[in-house]
Homo-oligomer: A and B are copies of this chain.
Amino acid sequence: MQPEQLKGLLEQVKNNDITVDEAVERLRHLPYEDLGFACVDHHRQIRRGFPEVIYCPGKTAEQIVEIFSSLARKGNNVLATRAEAEVFEALAQTGRFPQARYEKAARAIVLEQKKLEPSKSVLPIVTAGTADLPVATEAKVTAEIMGQRTELICDVGVAGLHRLLGQLEKLQKANVIIVVAGMEGALASVVGGLVSCPVVAVPTSVGYGASFEGLSALLTMLNSCAAGVAVVNIDSGFSAAVTATLISKKIEQKSN
């Protein structure tokens, strides 16, 4: 599907290294593993720069264990998000992944079996309040398994602006910043207005009634008067971390 791969394959066919039927087969079946209930995308590491990640809700513990095993067999680091403690227990009981650990605050299962070169830059993950920590922690765990160093800056919401200003130097040095905020989500705009790097904003479902499960913070962030703010799904620390890490990687890659 990627031009280079396709070209290589066509060359092999031309040179009679493989038959036409073999080429078609290879194109169709190679890059993923069909478990019946899941098609594990082993090709994602090559294509996107990070392996497939297991989103647990709606999957049975048995299914998660099998997908986890399939991914782990390739030697990559493995991440399962939104995992209940029972899922980790089911995984632990197999005895196959003694290195796997459960990050309770982030509800994530992490298996680091390949040591990645840590990034030069540090990614600030800023939260408006303490209640935004679970989402921020999911972002932290996700970024770190992709090799990105992070720093949590907690509870610096706009109700007490000086707390944020005290962290300004760190923020102004960053390549990209993650801002995690519920309630009215104004922190993203305020941070965005103070720095020259892009901001990835995560609305959270923290708040009183009219936060409507994160809708309020989501709309605030989308309507940010400070340009340079892009938004991910409500409570999706995972998605913010992948976006921010992809940005950060591009920067470090180019600067080598």
Does A243 belong to the interface (CB within 8 Å)?
Answer: yes
CB atoms of A161 and B134 under 8 A apart: no
CB within 8 Å of B: which A151-193 residues: 154-163, 165-166, 168-169, 172, 175-176, 182-186, 189-190, 192-193
CB within 8 Å of B: which A228-244 residues: 228-236, 238-240, 242-243
Q: Which of B31, B159, B172, B242 contacts A41 (CB 8 A)?
A: B159
A43-B162, A131-B58, A158-B193 are contacts. A14–B11 as well, Cβ < 8 Å?
Answer: no
Closest to A191 in B: B158
A186-B158, A220-B220, A254-B254 are contacts. A198–B246 as well, Cβ < 8 Å?
Answer: yes
Query: A85 to chain B: which residues have CB within 8 Å?
Result: none
CB atoms of B193 and A161 under 8 A apart: yes
CA distance A43 to B210 in the complex (A): 28
Query: A108 to chain B: which residues have CB within 8 Å?
Result: none
Q: Which of B27, B242, B251 contacts A6 (CB 8 A)?
A: B27
Q: Which of B20, B175, B206, B242 contacts A228 (CB 8 A)?
A: B242
Q: Which of B48, B129, B130, B238 contacts A195 (CB 8 A)?
A: B48
CA distance A229 to B231 in the complex (A): 9
CB atoms of A207 and B223 under 8 A apart: yes
Number of copies: 8
Does A92 belong to the interface (CB within 8 Å)?
Answer: no
A194-B161, A228-B242 are contacts. A186–B220 as well, Cβ < 8 Å?
Answer: yes
CB atoms of B184 and A220 under 8 A apart: yes
Does A93 belong to the interface (CB within 8 Å)?
Answer: no
Does A110 belong to the interface (CB within 8 Å)?
Answer: no
Interface size class of A (residues with CB under 8 A): 35 or more
CB atoms of A243 and B227 under 8 A apart: yes
Does A77 belong to the interface (CB within 8 Å)?
Answer: no
Query: A200 to chain B: which residues have CB within 8 Å?
Result: 230
Query: A242 to chain B: which residues have CB within 8 Å?
Result: 227-228
Flag the segment in A95-103, A111-119, A211-219 that touches B. Answer: A211-219
Closest to A82 in B: B208
Give chain A's interface residues, CB within 8 Å of chain B.
1-3, 6-7, 10-11, 13-14, 16, 20, 23-24, 27-29, 31-32, 36-39, 41, 43-44, 47-50, 52-53, 55, 57-59, 63, 67, 128-134, 154-163, 165-166, 168-169, 172, 175-176, 182-186, 189-190, 192-198, 200, 203, 205-236, 238-240, 242-243, 246-247, 250-252, 254-255
